[in-house]
Amino acid sequence: MRAVAVVGLGKTPFGAFPDRDLRSLAVEAGRKCLSNAQAAPEAIESFYLGNFAGPSFVGQNHLAPYVSTALGIRGVPATRIEAACASSGSAFYHAWTEVAAGIHDLVMVVGVEKMTSQTTARVSEILAAAGDCSGEMKAGNTFASLFAMIARRHMHDFGTRKEHLAAVAVKNHANGALNPDAHMRKPITMEQALAGKPIADPLNLYDCSLISDGAAAVILAPLERAAEFTAKPVRILSVAQASDYVALDQKDDITTFPAVRKAAEAAYRMAGVTAGDIQFAELHDCFTIAEIIASEDLGFVPRGQGGPYALEGCSARDGQRPINTSGGLKAKGHPVGATGVAQICDVALQIRCEAGARQIPRHSLGLAQNLGGSGATCVVTILAEP
């Protein structure tokens, strides 16, 4: 396989934008990305769109050519990938395989979601379709209630406390406050995080990611051609995707996600690194417990130690391994179809020393972990200096 690099990136701010539609968000991110790579739309040979639920959120289907043609990209394969909240992470994986295999040289990936055009109740209903609709969702579950069960079991098995969950929220809000593109630029205290409005015990408002609109885009090229497009290419050391059961009741243990472990093992093996080599990471904190479990499943800490790791400041910007310097889904926002590519952008910005006030000193090897549903899909990507 050929070595592959990210040669262009672009993002919209994440937030609630009542005057914006899905296509305008995707086009903004895409145009920024093309400009960043100094590439013309005609140069793009293949196009992938990561989108979870455009047909349900905005009533539009056939979304890949709907977006690509608006960017001036015509006559090439245009493919939409749906994998719940891991939709654009999966789209990135498929784009990488094309370039690595030599099928195409210049491939664009855009992730987008327009969520705020629906009521909160309707958004919860649409999101629930990424779970087991014939069982757990039919019984009235939402993803908040499912991750609450996961959190409660983690507390039972490992002694995890609400203070551990709150530490993740406080850290990610502090990072988001420094991110000009974040949905929630609001620091919070531990007291505020613990006193949030109850959502599904033990989770409260500050444990849950935001309903957001937004888009992100990247362009991939062979590493040998990267200098044609940028002076700051970011090498893709590995990308791995794995899957597991959709329903919680089919899992042997709901305090760990086998798809995350398998994707991480494959990514580490392909990149020739270990968990201990990873300097920083963007993890999928759809709920605070998800970041805690991800840090364990990725091998950053032993099982049951993700909570203390956060509370002790080890994952803060000045900690031993910064996690979610972007603010994470918790503060940056979670337009689900855009999240995976946005994580790639945020890791790349750190590696390129373009993260502004959030820049960390050790930034040459980073990881992104994008989760779909309650662990049914996971994509792990490892990026590095070229």
Q: List all residues 6 or more positions away from 97 whose beta carbon is below 8 Å from its beta carbon.
A: 239
Which residue of the set 334, 345, 363, 378 is catalytic? 334
Closest CA to 208 of 264, 266, 159, 146: 146
Which residue of the set 33, 85, 314, 378 is catalytic? 85
Q: Verify whether residue 85 is a known catalytic residue.
A: yes
Number of Cβ within 10 Å of residue 55's Cβ equals 14
Q: Which ranges constitute the DSSP H helices of 228-287?
A: 258-271
**CA 41 vs CA 33, 38, 74, 75, 159: distances in Å:** 10, 10, 8, 11, 53
Q: Which ranges constitute the DSSP H helices of the chain?
A: 22-36, 54-57, 63-68, 87-100, 120-128, 143-158, 162-176, 190-194, 258-271, 288-297, 306-311, 328-332, 339-351
CB-CB contact of 366 with 350 (8 Å): yes
Residues facing 46 on adjacent strands: 107
Q: Verify whether residue 334 is a known catalytic residue.
A: yes
CB-CB contact of 346 with 318 (8 Å): no
Question: Mind telling me the catalytic residues?
Answer: 85, 334
